[in-house]
């Protein structure tokens, strides 16, 4: 795999791909942890902190890593799920006391 998961200074195409990932993450229902777990499971090299920075526009990943992030997004949301199977319902449920 790559020695470093982040890439070189970005070209126009890389910026577009990163912006699309950023927009998809901000408007979607996939948590950072779920996305990173899936991305790592399909061969991603970046740790969760690096992925967070990428999704917030702070750095660019190597081209192959950006493709894996895109693949993870597509596969996680392809069948309408917002979290991988088995992860649903693990969040904290808040109940109003009113």
**pLDDT (tens digit, 9 = 90+) per residue, 12-38?**
556 688 888 888 888 888 899 999 999
Q: What is the mean pLDDT of the chain?
A: 77
Query: Which residues lie below 8 Å from residue 85, measured CB to CB, with a gap of 6+?
Result: none
> CB under 8 Å, gap of 24 or more: what pairs does 89-98 form?
none
The pLDDT tens digits of the residues spanning 35-74 come to 999 999 999 999 999 999 999 989 989 999 999 999 999 9
pLDDT value of position 68: 96
Integer Cα distance of 78 and 95 in angstroms: 31
Q: Please tell me the distance from the alpha carbon of residue 82 to that of residue 50, in angstroms, as a whole number.
A: 22
Q: Is the pLDDT at 7 greater than 50, yes or no?
A: yes
Residue 79 structure tokens = 């069948």
User: Where do the structural domains in the chain lie, given as residue ranges?
Assistant: 30-77
Tens digits of residue pLDDT in 69-89: 999 999 998 876 655 444 444
**What pLDDT does 87 receive?**
46
Residue 85, Ramachandran bin (φ over 0: left; ψ between -120 and 50: alpha; else beta): beta
């Amino acid at each position: 795999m790559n020695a470093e998961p982040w890439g070189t200074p970005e070209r126009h195409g890389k910026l577009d791909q990163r912006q699309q990932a950023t927009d998809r993450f901000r408007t979607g229902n996939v948590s950072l942890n779920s996305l990173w777990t899936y991305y790592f499971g399909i061969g991603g090299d970046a740790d969760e902190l690096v992925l967070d920075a990428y999704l917030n526009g702070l750095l660019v990943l190597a081209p192959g890593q950006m493709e894996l992030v895109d693949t993870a997004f597509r596969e996680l949301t392809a069948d309408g799920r917002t979290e991988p199977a088995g992860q649903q319902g693990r969040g904290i449920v808040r109940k109003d006391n009113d």
